[in-house]
Structure 1
């Protein structure tokens, strides 16, 4: 069947709009951006399908949405999580910043710093070395005497916990785990469930 790209898109992609929007609401905390995320996902799928139609359109749609969210999170992490002394002393901005915007920025930095401080000690150290000092995963693993897989898990856990605290009005997501249970998971002894 030789149908147009528009027909294919309507039949194979747009029919999943409700599920896509539900997924975006679960995966992205800023509700004001859901519409833009949905549209950008559609654009990426449409452009890719113009070159080569995916064999599993629904799976491709959701994979595209996940990649888009990952891209946005990566772009967002360039903000340092280390509290700065006095931002006024930097004099980097040419335009005058309103007192309200300055206060908002300070509050965001304080919340982000508080979220970082709430991480378990090992997780906090791994996140610091990987994301702030920007050390390679292999070097972090060697320095801390842990596996690269554990570094990867601890970074993912740290980002998840910080996002839960930051966007969840100060509440860490899920029940707290004991240090022993975390250590068992990291060394591969305890649960086989991924952290």
Structure 2
């Protein structure tokens, strides 16, 4: 028997499958027009629980509702990011005119700025760097960063302020030095 101690969880999953689909469809994904996406979310949760069974929960149905709700919220966020990215593609310049406007000097300057930014991020203290990269590069919400790192949201905000000002200061100094060169 592969599920051993998780048998109550599997039984709850099988018995309440349609109820979980309805719960997801009414809750976080109510904006979706059909229940197929809610069904996909519950199916993904089932597959994950089969691959990596968790410790047996005290109340299997409540556990499954929570996991399904969180998975649905994650899926909504992914779809929102994807939609935002697709919308932003329309604002990108045409590649035919891009070649005419970018000369080697501008490409080199852009690469130098990017290298300066990477160096300034790398020079941040480790915790500050982790917070800065998670928020600015990966787009992780501040609350999630605080939970993941075990710090308060005020500390996350402080690290973001310090990281942003350090990077800004490093870039301004470098650009000032570049402008002063003959």
* Largest Rg, 1 or 2: 2
TM-score past 0.5 threshold: no
Q: Larger RCO: Structure 1 or Structure 2 (Cα < 8 Å, ≥ 6 residues apart)?
A: 2
Structure 1 or 2: more helix by fraction:
2
TM-score normalised by the chain length of structure 2: 0.41
TM-score calculated relative to the size of structure 1: 0.39
